[in-house]
Each structure stands twice: as C-alpha cells, then as structure tokens.
Amino acid sequence: MKNLKIHKKIVPLEELSNTSDFFTTALIIIICLLGIPLILIAWLAILLSNAWAAKRHPVKQLTDGWLNIETDAALKIGLSYRSIDAASVSDAAAGYFDTEHLNLYRTVPKLDFFTGYFTSFKIELPDGIFVQKIYFDDTLEEVLSSPLYFFSYQTTEAEEIHDLKDYVLLDTKGSPTDFLLTASGEQHDAEIRITRL
C-alpha cells in the first residue's frame, strides 16, 4: 500500500436528499411551465373548433314545431325534426325508452330512409348526419333493432354502422369529425370511434 492515497468524503444524508429533492422539484416545475401553455392552447383549439362546427350547423325553430337542420344549400335537401314522447308511439316504446324522447324527421324532397322513428341521438356534419333509427314490429310492440347510421346528404344513402339494440347510456366524446361513442350493454360494452376527414 506504499504511495497509495485514499480520500474519503462522507456526505450527510440530509445533504444528499436535499440535492435530489431540488433537482426533482426543479424538473417538475419546468415540465409544468412548459406543459400548461400547451394544454391551454389545445383546450382553446378544441373550444374554437366546436364553436366553428356549431356555427356551421345552426338549428333554428320553425313555426310549426319542427327544428330545421341547416344543410348545404347546393345539395338541395331540407331536413327537419321534432321530438315526440315514446308513450305516444306505444306502451312498449314507452317502456323500452323510459324517459327518452323519440324523433321524427321530414325531408324535402321526401326520402324513404327518414320515415319511422329515431332516437334523440344525432351528430351533424357538413356532409351528413349520424342518427339511430328504431325498427319496430308491425304492431309497434317490440323493438327489432336500432342501428346507428350515417346518412350522406350527397348520395342520399344511409350506411349502417352498428346495431345498438339493448345498449343504453350512449355517450360521445370528441368533436363531430372525430368522436368516440360508448354504449353499455348487459353482456358487454361497445366502443365505436368514428373519424371523418
């Protein structure tokens, strides 16, 4: 052990923990300072896009009780709807839809797809509308199916997306062009993400 020098430094535990706490706290503060403006900008962008979408699809009250859905004038389709009590359809409808109102639609020109009953679920887009149609049996005593459709104003055709019969608590999150639809069922839940470009 000749010509060997050993230097020892014993660091108190308090000093070590204060140093690591300082760096951890400084890192958290830096992340927060950088993250908060980004979160605020994203939140503002979402608010503006939703407000812009609402301006593009205003709903106005008509004198005869129907609500008009504004569509592109170039497509020459008039679409309006009104809500009715499920009890006015049948006792079975009142029991099946509990407190939910049903919708009736009318179109100019008349389109076969919009005859019948629909749930109150609807999401409006510039080129079409998402609706959930209800198919009853002939006596209106049993719900046979209630699929979710996208109706295109351009083609005047409806595309079935998924039958949501026996699902409840339909909930959507997101914007009209990119949203997640969740529905609860007895056996399992359904999640449908729809993105429109």
* 38 within a domain of the structure (yes/no): yes
Do 121 and 171 have their domain in common?
yes
Per-residue model confidence as pLDDT tens digits over 138-177: 888 888 998 999 898 888 899 998 888 877 767 788 777 7
Residue 140 lies in a domain: yes
Q: Are residues 28 and 125 in the same domain?
A: no
Top-confidence residue, 139 or 3: 139
Q: How many folded domains does the chain comprise? A: 2
pLDDT in tens, 38-86: 888 888 888 777 666 655 545 555 557 788 887 776 677 888 999 888 8
Average pLDDT (7-34) is: 69
Same domain, 75 and 156: yes
- Cα angle for residues 68, 102, 167 (degrees, 5° grid): 125
Instruction: Give residue-wise pLDDT tens across range 85-135.
Output: 888 888 888 888 877 889 999 988 899 999 999 988 888 887 888 899 999
User: Are residues 191 and 182 in contact, defined by beta-carbon separation less than 8 angstroms?
Assistant: yes
Do 85 and 147 belong together in one domain?
yes
Residues 82 and 23 placed together within one structural domain of the fold: no
Is the pLDDT higher at 195 or at 138?
A: 138
Q: Which token pair is 175?
A: 């914007």
| Residue 137 in this model has a pLDDT that exceeds 70 | yes
In a domain, 7, yes or no: no
Residue 189 lies in a domain: yes
Structural domain includes residue 8:
no
Cβ(161)–Cβ(152) under 8 Å? no
| Position 180 in a domain | yes
Residue 11 has pLDDT above 70, yes or no: no
What phi and psi, each to the nearest 5 degrees, are found at residue 40? -65, -40
Which range of residues forms the domain containing residue 169? 59-195
**Are 77 and 37 members of one domain?**
no
Are both 185 and 144 inside the same structural domain? yes
Last residue of a domain, one of 39, 56, 73: 56
Do 154 and 108 fall within a single domain? Answer: yes
Q: With respect to residue 2, please indicate whether it lies within any of the assigned structural domains.
A: no
Q: Is the domain of 133 the same as that of 152?
A: yes
The verdict on 141 and 186 lying in the same domain is: yes
